Chain A
């Protein structure tokens, strides 16, 4: 069964600290993996999209990694800011039926 699991479910860190969010998937065949940021009361916004051949991709203070062999991805946030408080969702697209399999997200709270 195609599934995307994220950990931790929620996380609280202090402003300025780094953190890493995890995503494990069992989707097959694999096409690409996306990380979204969803602020409270808003729609998700894409942070990165990674294909099979990409190991690391950065978008400002966000760095995503992908290990297609172990079917794991991580999102590392550097020097966190209060505005990073949001839900971070991992999404994997299947390679055959064009479906996006969504994770439940990690709720991140950055405190001053």
Chain B
């Protein structure tokens, strides 16, 4: 069974369009994340949600809007797509490490969505 799944796997679209990427995890985790991996292979966190609440929002254009309908889902909606948005987007999940917990939790990543903006 797939632990963290994303759809679609590939997404090719034109500049100016609006698109969504869906993510689901069946691990019962409290926290979900969105990462962007650019052509230089650098993974950069975009958002983190804990129990449907936004806890990390890095410097990301407000064209990107995460939506968490429930703990198992964190979707990423992108408005007015630009060429620079072309990248691989990874969803991940983990239990919430919390501020006082001694043992860290692993993050489990989805297979990625390769977005190409033309």
Contacts and interface: CB of A to CB of B under 8 A. Distances in A.
Given A43-B112, A98-B97, A99-B56, A49 B104 contact: yes
A28 interface: no
Interface residues of B, number: 23
Per DSSP, chain B at the interface is loop
B97 A42 contact: no
Interface residues of A, number: 21
14 contacts: A31-B97, A31-B104, A34-B104, A42-B112, A43-B4, A43-B111, A44-B43, A44-B107, A44-B109, A46-B108, A49-B104, A93-B97, A99-B56, A104-B40
Nearest to A31: B104
Interface of B: 4, 40-45, 55-56, 90, 92, 97, 99, 102-104, 106-112
Contact of A49 (B106, B110, B111, B112): B106
